[in-house]
Amino acid sequence: SDWHHWSCVYNHERQQQIIYCDGELEACRQPANYQGTGNLYIGALKGTSAFFEGQLADLRIWKGVRTPQEIQDALNSRLTGNESGLLAYWPLDEGKGTTITDKTGNGNDGKITGAVWEKMEIPFEDAASSLNKPIEITVNGETEYIEIPSNSALNLIDDFYVRFKWGVAKIEKDDIKIKMKIRRS
């Protein structure tokens, strides 16, 4: 499969969502009625429906707006979990179980519903060689997702940046639609 680096930026001041694919601007919009509270669902839209099919690896949420250059500079890097401004980091290297652990120590652990662990080579330039574990989560597009419970340490009301690697067997550029939903509990 081909891996792509997706970055989603939310600029609170401008009320703007910006999406980059492999460091290139993909989409920009101004969402209506964004609340920024509730659980975070990865691989599902509208809570637990409209599911993503493919592989996910290395999910991160940062405080603040990332510039296009910062996004380019970090395309294929792994983190330690101690980086300044990092709110949550899930390298998805557990390899088993139904919990993904937030490596920042902020307690944003997530629950996996239905997805399976697979070993696969993922292109990274590692910050720490111990994090170089080629593991990711595969979701089937029908009933599988990851849920991160609402947590005060994960403030998604102000500026933030979400980054993840996404692999699919084949994708046509015109078919790309990425949505991240934060649902009020």
- pLDDT score at 46: 60
DSSP code for 18: E
Q: Confidence band (pLDDT; 50, 70, 90) for 82?
A: very high
pLDDT in tens, 63-79: 888 888 888 887 777 78
Please name which of 39, 21, 30, 17 lies closest in space to residue 168, comparing C-alpha atoms.
21
Euclidean distance between CA atoms 137 and 90, whole angstroms: 11
Domain membership of residue 113 as a residue range: 2-183
Spatial distance between the Cα atoms of 17 and 113, rounded to a whole number of angstroms: 27
In this predicted model, which residue has the larger pLDDT, 82 or 27?
82
- Collapsing DSSP to helix, strand or coil, 98 comes out as coil
Report whether 166 contacts 137 (CB < 8 A): no
Cβ-based neighbours of 48, under 8 Å, separated by 6 or more: 41, 113, 145, 147
The reported pTM is 0.66
Write out pLDDT tens, residues 101-158: 899 999 888 888 877 777 766 655 544 433 334 444 555 555 555 566 666 555 555 5
Give the separation between CA 42 and CA 121, rounded to whole angstroms: 21
pLDDT score at 125: 53
Q: Domain containing 95 — which CATH number?
A: 2.60.120
**Do residues 155 and 87 touch, judged by C-beta distance below 8 A?**
yes
Number of domains in the chain: 1
